[in-house]
């Protein structure tokens, strides 16, 4: 395995420190048309830009992770992608880790090109981490995994997503009796073996899954971060996390978008909302981390 570049501390270590000091919160930057309208902005590049940099200026110096959704920028073509490039650069400069939510997944040279786009320090889209899809086989992610390790970056691999359609693939059972999701989680754990204090390859596991994970043959002890979308608008709450994630709760990175963004365009209200969410999540995760069996 390619080792991290000496100038870049591994993503897992940087994320652990950011969560411990800034609070365990990832705020999505999702400038979809409805939210732009709620902010009184046009569904155009100018509205996109104003929305994005209001969020960046309000939150990049405060939250652990910002997660721009690439699709909302790509739909405006090159001008939209230019806004995303600036957002990534300015967020990182202000101290936030940037997780670009692009859900890339392909094979061979194409996967390598995606890795170059998001995980190469020479790229204008260079991010601390990237979401990726393993459903062409986990091995198809190897170029991104190697690039991430080499640059001290991270990956969040789709494992158990909160959308109902995901179950038809993720819960499918292989010949060896394991589900596809269980296999993906096992491969993530292999990538994180012996990493301290936290591996750099994480999993995406929906916070809305309730208690359905237990007894489903999945092991969330992957020694890596667990990105948990679904809190707030999708129905999950901070109090649900220990029930869903069990002993792995301390490594959960909850992701909230609308629950924070609906407080814009006021930067002050965005900061207050993010602070309130982070404090509530930190309290829940701290209690879970001190419970018996929490280090399992």
Distance CA 274, CA 279 (A): 9
Extract the tokens encoding 30.
């999702």
> Is 77 exposed, middle or buried, given 0-12, 13-18 or 19+ CB atoms closer than 10 A?
exposed
Which DSSP category does 202 fall into?
E
Question: Cα separations (Å) of 288 from 238, 248, 281, 282, 293?
Answer: 11, 9, 11, 10, 9
Extract the tokens encoding 177.
């009796």
Give the residue from 134, 69, 75 showing the smallest Cα distance to 100: 69
Q: Please identify every residue annotated as catalytic.
A: 103
C-alpha neighbours within 13 Å on the C-beta side of residue 140: 15
Q: Give the contacts of 45 (CB within 8 A, at least 6 positions apart).
A: 76, 79, 80, 83
34 CB neighbour count, 10 Å cutoff: 11
Q: Give the contacts of 84 (CB within 8 A, at least 6 positions apart).
A: 52, 68, 70, 73, 74, 100, 125
């Amino acid at each position: 395995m390619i080792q991290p570049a000496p100038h870049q501390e591994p993503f897992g270590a940087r994320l652990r420190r950011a969560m411990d000091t800034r609070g365990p919160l990832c705020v999505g930057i999702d400038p979809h048309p409805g939210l732009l309208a709620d902010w009184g902005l046009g569904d155009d590049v100018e509205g996109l830009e104003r929305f994005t940099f209001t969020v960046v200026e309000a939150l990049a110096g405060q939250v652990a992770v910002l997660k721009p959704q690439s699709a909302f920028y790509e739909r405006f073509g090159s001008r939209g992608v230019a806004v995303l490039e600036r957002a990534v650069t300015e967020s990182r400069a202000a101290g936030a880790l940037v997780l670009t939510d692009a859900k890339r997944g392909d094979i061979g040279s194409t996967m390598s090109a995606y890795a170059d786009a998001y995980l190469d320090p020479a790229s204008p889209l260079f991010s601390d981490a990237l979401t990726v899809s393993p459903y062409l086989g986990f091995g198809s992610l190897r170029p991104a995994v190697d690039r991430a390790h080499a640059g001290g970056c991270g990956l969040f691999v789709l494992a158990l997503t909160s959308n109902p359609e995901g179950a038809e693939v993720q819960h499918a059972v292989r010949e060896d009796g394991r589900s596809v999701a269980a296999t993906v989680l096992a491969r993530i754990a292999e990538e994180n073996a012996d990493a301290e204090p936290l591996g750099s390859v994480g999993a995406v596991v929906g916070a809305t899954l309730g208690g359905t994970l237990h007894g489903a043959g999945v092991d969330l002890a992957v020694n890596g971060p667990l990105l948990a979308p679904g809190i707030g608008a999708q129905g999950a709450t901070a109090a649900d996390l220990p029930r869903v994630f069990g002993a792995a709760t301390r490594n959960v990175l909850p992701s909230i978008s609308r629950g924070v963004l609906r407080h814009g365009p006021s930067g002050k209200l965005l900061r207050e909302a993010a602070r309130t969410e982070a404090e509530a999540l930190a309290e829940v995760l701290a209690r879970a981390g001190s419970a018996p069996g929490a280090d399992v």
